[in-house]
A = this chain, B = another copy of it.
Amino acid sequence: MKTKLILSALLLITCLAGFSQEKQSGKTKENSSAGVEKGLIKVSVLYPFAEGKTFDMAYYEAKHMPMVAGFLGSNLVKYTIEKGVASGLPNTPLPFMAIGCFYVKDLAAYQAAIGPNIDAIRADIAVYTNISPVILVSEIIR
């Protein structure tokens, strides 16, 4: 009788301990996911709009970005794609047709991964656009 009582108390404690541990790790995951970008390096590739410029978003999304992402390996945390739709200022032309961004842990590793593949990347850019992109390396503040 006493043994069973002790046994069920032990079971309960073990269970609650596991439960609370899971809760804590869940919280850690959530926090790290919310702040996942802070402190990372962001490489933005901006495609300025001008008359006569073209941009094939379908190809960019399906082929080009996954190709470059593949070169970056585990240094890449995530990448994003956006399509410019308007200028936010009245009577001003659309500033950019598209922007693609790579969020990486380490800039030197990014450069080391891109370097040997730069010719393949440039040749592929010509497939989806006639724009010369602007590239910005930035630090995520928030």
Contacts and interface: CB of A to CB of B under 8 A. Distances in A.
A141 B57 contact: yes
This protein's copies in its complex? 2
A96 B136 contact: yes
Contacts of A84: 136-138
A85 B85 CA distance: 26
B87 A136 contact: yes
A30 interface: yes
Contact of A135 (B44, B46, B83, B88): B88
Interface of A: 1, 4-5, 7-8, 11-12, 15-16, 18-19, 22-23, 25-26, 29-30, 33-34, 37, 42-46, 57, 61, 65, 79-89, 92, 94-96, 99, 134-142
